[in-house]
Amino acid sequence: MSAPVYGILAEFDSPHEVISAAKRAYAEGYRKLDAYSPFPVHGLSEAIGFHKDNVSLAVLIGGIIGGLSGYGLQYWVNIFAYPINIAGRPPNSWPAFIIITFELTVLFAGLTAAIGMLAMNGLPKPYNPLFNSDRFERASRDKFFLCIESEDPKYDASGTRAFMESLQPASVSEVPY
């Protein structure tokens, strides 16, 4: 019995080749694919079908929750828990609440951005089956890689390998788990 396969990995020499290959793979119907490069390549994320991230929405929601909690806490303390008449101003003196409200908005938005980015990127991920590939260590130096995972609905071991070879990469290999 053979070892389970994580996916098929193709190695390319230039960023233009991997972008072209990623566009073809996406057009062919593969959806569980990822690309790796030693530096950011403009257009590569769009080529593999990554168009939307939800971090900005999470930051907005975190900021709103922070602002409402800062204002709400001050309102509750000054109106219900510990009302003090200071210089005859009303208990709900909203201009005095703005500084803390702003600070908690920024704090919650920043924390949501950091935690949301880590969670939505699936981090931390200390192990990836691609580390089992001998050639993959060059992804951080000078090579570009495209991997179609075996979990893809269209994945077929021989058909996917033939498709990857039709992209004319420098090499194609199976990645074991």
Please name the helix (run of DSSP H) or strand (run of DSSP E) that holds residue 163, with its range, or none. Answer: helix 157-166
Render each residue's pLDDT in the chain as its tens digit; 177 residues. 577 999 999 999 999 999 999 999 999 999 999 999 999 999 999 999 988 889 999 999 999 999 999 999 999 999 999 998 888 888 888 898 999 999 999 999 999 999 999 999 889 989 999 998 989 999 999 999 999 999 999 999 999 999 999 999 999 999 998
Q: Is the peptide bond before 83 cis (omega within 30 degrees of 0)?
A: no
Q: Which is nearest to 29 in space by CA: 134, 159, 172, 142?
A: 159
User: Which pTM does this prediction carry?
Assistant: 0.77
